[in-house]
Amino acid sequence: MDVVDIEQLVIRRATVLDAPAVLKVFDEVMAWFVQMGNEGQWGCEPWSASPRRIQLLEDTCALPGAWVAEDKRGHLFGALVLGEAQPYVSPATEPEIYVRVLVASRDVRARGIGRRLLAFADNRARAAGVQSLRVDCYGGGTGALVRFYESCGYERIAAFSVDGWPCQLLGRSLKATDAS
pLDDT tens digits, one per residue of 56-109: 999 999 999 999 999 888 899 999 999 999 999 999 999 999 999 999 998 888
Looking at residue 178, what is its pLDDT?
53
The b/e string for 50-86 (b: 16+ C-beta within 10 A; e otherwise) is: eeebbebbbebbebebbbbbbbeeebbbbbbbbeebe
Strands 155-162 and 132-138: unpaired
Q: Are 130 and 165 in contact (CB under 8 A)?
A: no
Q: Are 135 and 154 in contact (CB under 8 A)?
A: yes
Global confidence as pTM:
0.89
Strand order in the sheet with 97-104: 10-13, 66-70, 76-83, 97-104, 132-138, 165-173, 155-162
Average pLDDT, the chain: 89
Q: Where do runs of H (alpha helix) occur along the chain?
A: 19-35, 51-61, 113-127, 144-151
CA 60 distance to own-chain centroid: 12
Cβ burial, residue 5 (10 Å; 0-12/13-18/19+): exposed
Each residue's pLDDT tens digit, 126-137: 999 999 999 999
CA distance 159 to 151: 18
> How much of the chain exceeds pLDDT 90, in percent?
66
Looking at residue 1, what is its pLDDT?
42
Going along the chain from its start, the domains and CATH numbers come out as 6-173 (3.40.630.30)
- Residue 177 confidence class, pLDDT cut points 50, 70, 90: very low
Phi and psi at residue 162, in whole multiples of 5°? -115, 105
Residue 75 or 32, more confident = 75
CA distance 165 to 179: 34
Looking at residue 40, what is its pLDDT?
65
